[in-house]
Amino acid sequence: MNMPILATKLYIPLPRTKAILRPDLIERMNKGLDRKLTLISASAGFGKTTLVSEWAAVCERPVAWLSLDEGDNNPIRFLTYLVTAVQKIAEGIGEGVLGALKSSQPPSTESILTILANEISTVPYKFVLVLDDYHVIDAKRIDDVLIFLLENLPPQMHLIVATRENPQFPLARLRARDQLTELRATDLRFTPGETETFLNQVMGLVLSAKEITALETRTEGWIAGLQLAALSMQGCEDIPAFIRAFAGDNRYIVDYLVEEVLQRQPDHVRNFLLQTSILDRLHGPLCDAVTGQEDGNARLDALERGNYFVVPLDDRRRWYRYHHLFAEVLSAHLREDQPDQVATLHWRASIWYEQHGSPVDAIRHGLASEDFARAADLIEMACPAMRSSRQEAAVLGWLKALPDELLRCRPVLSTGYAWALLACGELEAALDRLRDAERWLETTEDMRERPETPFAEMVVVNEEEFRRLPSSISLYRAAYAQALGDVSATMKYARRVLDLVPEDDHLLRGSAVALLGLASWSSGDLRAAYRSFTDGMAIVQSAGGISDAIGGAIAPADISIAQGRLRQAMRIYERGLQLASEQGEPALRGTADMYVGMSQLYLEHDDLHAATQHLLRSKEQGEHTGFPQNRYRWHVAMARIREAQGDLDGALDLLHEAENLYVSDFFPNVRPVAALKTRVRVAQGRLDEALDWAREHGLSARDELCYLREFEHITLARVLLARYNKERADHSILEAIEFLKRLLQAAEEGERTGSVIEILIMQALAHHMHGDISAALASLDRALTLAEPEGYVRIFVDEGRPMAALLEAAVKQGIAMNYVRRLLPAFGKAEVSTLAKQVMSEPLSEREREVLRLLGTDLSGPNIARELMVSLNTLRTHTKNIYDKLEVNNRRSAVRRAEELDLF
């Protein structure tokens, strides 16, 4: 949805004509400019906005201003306004960012901020950005935006945040680094001298020093309380009596004083104040529409001149807002005095906002007016744009506020409700809404056949969406079925979409083809799954779904890994990153997921450094550059690195986090985190917990096999082998060997070479445990043959000493000698040292070992010859023999090879 910019949010409030000068606070703010953040935090009525606006008027640096409201909890809206505010003083900054935010698939927040920070760093002068009323923000994602910005703030920019509540920033760290200036309520309270000036000069009262002290003491310098007291005393005949009766905490003071203020106003002023209190922002024509009067501009001007807690939002005095606390109290009095008017006032505001192109505000007031039919109409028209901008959470909140009986007669809205529920993981509720919509389609078909039948009370506002309803419902039913693992239903509904949609509806068509691929994946038909899913993503990409195409690369990559095609999986991830880079910065959603996938492949190749760097790169991109359902993958990948490093406790902690982050989606869960945790526990020797996992998940070696449980069954085989290692019961190892035989046959029939390699390795270990070396080497030989072309390493090395012993036996039999040589360096030295002699075609002589040791020093050839007291030709002969035995061709390679084999 293209979001119009409300210019009034970007205006700096003008200083009051009779303001109290506060030079000490101004000086503190000026000194704080060399730090990153100035935080002005105090409850309502302490003059935060007034102070900052007065400081901005005398600040030597340019100042950008953003007044926040509840709508700014949406990250896209917040960032749009933030960039636009900066552009007010740095023209041209962030144009590309604004363009990206308007797209249907906006990139990640952190990518946007990275680009913005880089552009700000090019500004040739220093400036200030003010965020006023930050307490209205309650979205963690917005807090994360500010935290990232603060951590990467260019020196050109200083941030000021005015708020009633402490924001969720790392304030302690900022204090420790001397990057924070703070002004709190104790700093903002009026001093006795400021109180005297305010009451007698600004508010025009004539109070004695004793009376001023009494008010200052009772309000504790609270500016709003003093202002309300002054308004109440204007025209009061017995001021001393008023002051004596003036007591209580802030809430009761406000209630009392507003009563006094409101009761002293003419009816037309009082009604205006109460009726316009429903508005977040005040504008003359809007106020006229709400109150039914024609003098809104004049009223607002008079209220400002009379100090009635009205804050101008622009320099032309066209938009205002009430002081928040004042508005809250006015609203409470409206509900008490004119309860029957509240709904009407909201209804009028909704009409005005709709007419002036602000559907979100129109919907908000429509819901508040309880004219639910009108609100439903507005939501139905807004749904397509909200869907394209992925604001399903907002839509879900609106729809849940509507009466259920109203929704049931609106098939388009019911389908939109189903979309929002599916996107938020509420599957059963989504199915109910789809059924509601389907009933109306059946009714419509019945009307075509029997037009004399009275047409029911179906309501359709968006005719275009209604025409697409059969295909949309089928698509959502396919998605629902896939989320439940119902392969046949997924295929049934996805094929129905293809029958219904026209050829040029690429988004629906591509989504349906991709769902067919996911269904094939769930059933274990990996070849069909790969073909169908990649075809579907290509169609979606042609419809402009670039981000979906990038993030969708995970599925064909995972399928390729299951097929044992590691190199193909790496190419898929690389193409995904290339596609992302072609779109320019900021990074599109899905980019971070590519780095996570590549990390896992680098880990299998035993490049732990590259694996770690890719995970860090993913982190730098920001979790919002990945799809939410994939967040758990980062923790799984890091857990595997920890496991490879020998930190099993750390690996298990990360897997616990991954399990908490896991969100069921439309990809089949073929590698459950619980099974991964069990594998770590087996490595830790926690067999009882591993056996508990098997019992809890209903797993046994006699199960009927299926692809969706293949990873769990292979994990179970590991548990059975661990139990035999501990108990040495023959029936346990025989059960495991038979189970592995069945698993191998199923994996081979499904062409799942990745599983075949792992099962063969486990077969080899099982036969070795049972004393059948010949069978063990036969399985290992097959595993090595399948694994070598794709460069598998960790799948062998992670088995530790038992695999090292098998490789030693394989070397003696001349099995895969070259491949074993490449695998050996990945084992620990304890394992490698026992194999070194077996790997070399001929062991080194003692003299050759001595020469090799000196080759590892900085000595030149002639110096080595002198050290050994041999001729240079003899040294060359020894060196050539060493190179031949180590299968290298230079000194550096020989030294590195010797280190790998622990020959030193």
pLDDT at 25 over 70: yes
Single pTM value for the model: 0.62
Residue showing tokens 């890091």: 638
**Cα angle 873, 877, 880; round to 5:** 135
Q: What is the amino acid identity at position 819?
A: Y
The mean pLDDT of 369-389, rounded to a whole number, is: 86
The mean pLDDT of 857-883, rounded to a whole number, is: 87
For position 839, what pLDDT does the model report? 46
Strands 282-283 and 63-67: unpaired
**Cα angle 437, 380, 476; round to 5:** 40
DSSP state of 5: P
The mean pLDDT of 626-653, rounded to a whole number, is: 89
- Contact between 655 and 681 (Cβ < 8 Å): no
User: How far is it, in rounded angstroms, from Cα 375 to Cα 393?
Assistant: 17
Q: Assign residue 412 a region (left: φ > 0; alpha: ψ between -120 and 50; beta: otherwise).
A: alpha
The mean pLDDT of 784-795, rounded to a whole number, is: 96
User: How far is it, in rounded angstroms, from Cα 229 to Cα 246?
Assistant: 9
HSE (CB half, 13 Å, CA atoms) of 168? 10
Q: What is the amino acid identity at position 56?
A: A
Tokens at 376, concatenated: 């439903």
Q: What is the amino acid identity at position 867?
A: E
Burial string for 562-580 (b: 16+ CB within 10 Å, else e) reads: bbbbbebbbebbebbbebb
The mean pLDDT of 535-561, rounded to a whole number, is: 87
pLDDT at 477 over 50: yes
- Contact between 44 and 224 (Cβ < 8 Å): yes
pLDDT at 638 over 80: yes
CA distances from 150 to 42, 78, 145 (A): 21, 16, 9
**With pLDDT > 70 as the criterion, what percentage of the chain qualifies?**
90
Tokens at 438, concatenated: 């389907």
For position 456, what pLDDT does the model report? 54
Higher pLDDT, 365 or 109: 365
Tell me which of 200-209, 402-411, 503-512, 863-872 is least confident: 200-209
Q: How far is C-alpha 472 from the chain's CA centre?
A: 27
User: How far is it, in rounded angstroms, from Cα 365 to Cα 589?
Assistant: 33
- Neighbour count for residue 628 (Cβ, 10 Å): 14
User: How far is it, in rounded angstroms, from Cα 428 to Cα 27?
Assistant: 60
DSSP state of 199: I
pLDDT at 448 over 70: no
Tell me which of 73-82, 282-291, 417-426 is least confident: 417-426
Tell me which of 267-276, 374-383, 445-454 is least confident: 445-454
pLDDT at 138 over 50: yes
pLDDT at 103 over 50: yes
Cα dihedral 816→818→823→825 (10° resolution): 150
Higher pLDDT, 596 or 448: 596
DSSP-assigned states of every residue in 248-275: S-HHHHHHHHHHHHHHTS-HHHHHHHHH
- Contact between 52 and 119 (Cβ < 8 Å): no
Partners of 163 in beta bridges: 41
Q: Assign residue 92 a region (left: φ > 0; alpha: ψ between -120 and 50; beta: otherwise).
A: left
- Neighbour count for residue 613 (Cβ, 10 Å): 15
| Of residues 314, 193, 325, the one with CA closest to residue 258 | 325
Q: What is the mean pLDDT of the chain?
A: 86
pLDDT at 76 over 90: no
What is the third-level CATH fold of 473-544?
Answer: 1.25.40
For position 848, what pLDDT does the model report? 86
The mean pLDDT of 725-736, rounded to a whole number, is: 84
pLDDT at 294 over 60: yes
All structural domains of the chain with their residue ranges: 7-188, 192-264, 371-467, 473-544, 841-904
State whether residue 310 is helix, strand or coil: strand
Does the structural domain 841-904 have CATH classification 1.20.1090.10?
Answer: no
pLDDT band at 830 (very low <50, low <70, confident <90, very high): very low
Q: Do domains 7-188 and 841-904 have the same CATH topology?
A: no
Residue showing tokens 């994939």: 630
Q: Taking the domain 7-188, which CATH number applies?
A: 3.40.50.300
Strands, E, within 470-587: which ranges? none
User: How far is it, in rounded angstroms, from Cα 108 to Cα 583?
Assistant: 13
